[in-house]
């Protein structure tokens, strides 16, 4: 049971967004810019970084939701998402993405763990300043979203079918585009 009374039937962060729409807006805009809007990293790559960090933070809802979105962007390849979570260094992804995931893993534990050689490796594999910046911020942001979702003990479904459906909507409409339910929840209050 969640620690606070959130609207029923809305899992994970969606219940919290409906509880506090004022903070839902910038939180969704940040996800939109980082994960969905144009960038030199593909949405699939960025969702993999989000999924990896959420997995290391042991946040079931976030790693399952963003894992499903990553898989959707990667042509439905759910196996690659599982492999990245288990051992990304030996997964069939680009050397650049491996270097960025290594940085994300450091940030997840503590940003002071990020060493110059982690950055040098990413640069050597072709990462730009903006890609390194965005990797650090995606990892940092999921250290927030994960704590928000688990710190208030939100409810999560375990059935993957619902996550797949939601992933298709988010991949199509973006994070700001799927906020309509907040207005519905406000009207119900």
Distances (CA, A) of 137 to 78, 107, 130: 25, 9, 10
For other proteins, give the closer residue by CB, 86 or 147. Answer: 147
Q: How many residues does the chain have?
A: 189
Q: Supply the minimum distance, in Å, between the C-beta of residue 103 and other proteins.
A: 8
Could you write out the three-class secondary structure of 81-114? HHHHHHHHHHCCCCHHHHHHHHHHHHHHHCHHHC
**The two three-digit tokens of residue 120, written as one number:** 């040098």
Q: Supply the minimum distance, in Å, between the C-beta of residue 89 and other proteins.
A: 20
**The two three-digit tokens of residue 67, written as one number:** 């894992």
Q: Supply the minimum distance, in Å, between the C-beta of residue 136 and other proteins.
A: 4
Residues that bind other proteins (CB under 8 A): 3-5, 16, 19-20, 22-23, 25-27, 29-30, 33-34, 37, 57-59, 103, 106-107, 110-112, 114, 129-130, 132-134, 136-137, 139-141, 143-153
Q: Supply the minimum distance, in Å, between the C-beta of residue 30 and other proteins.
A: 4
The set of residues, in sequence order, having a beta carbon less than 8 Å from that of 122 and lying 6+ positions away, is 96, 99, 100, 102, 103, 131, 132, 135
For other proteins, give the closer residue by CB, 33 or 78. Answer: 33
For other proteins, give the closer residue by CB, 158 or 161. Answer: 158
For other proteins, give the closer residue by CB, 41 or 71. Answer: 41
């Amino acid at each position: 049971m969640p620690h606070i009374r959130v609207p029923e039937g809305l899992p994970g962060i969606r219940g919290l967004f409906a509880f506090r729409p004022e903070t839902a807006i910038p939180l969704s805009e940040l996800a939109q810019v980082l994960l969905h809007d144009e960038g030199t990293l593909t949405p699939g790559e960025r969702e993999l970084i989000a999924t990896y960090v959420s997995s290391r933070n042991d946040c079931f809802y976030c790693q399952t939701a963003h894992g499903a979105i990553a898989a959707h962007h990667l042509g439905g390849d759910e196996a690659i998402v599982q492999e990245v979570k288990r051992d990304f260094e030996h997964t069939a992804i680009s050397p650049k993405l491996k270097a960025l995931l290594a940085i994300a893993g450091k940030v997840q534990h503590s940003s002071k763990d990020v060493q110059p050689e982690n950055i040098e490796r990413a640069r050597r594999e072709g990462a730009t300043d903006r890609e390194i910046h965005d990797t650090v911020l995606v990892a940092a942001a999921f250290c927030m979203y994960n704590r928000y979702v688990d710190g208030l003990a939100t409810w999560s479904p375990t059935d993957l079918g619902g996550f797949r459906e939601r992933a298709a909507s988010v991949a199509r409409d973006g994070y700001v585009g799927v906020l309509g339910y907040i207005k519905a929840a406000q009207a119900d209050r």
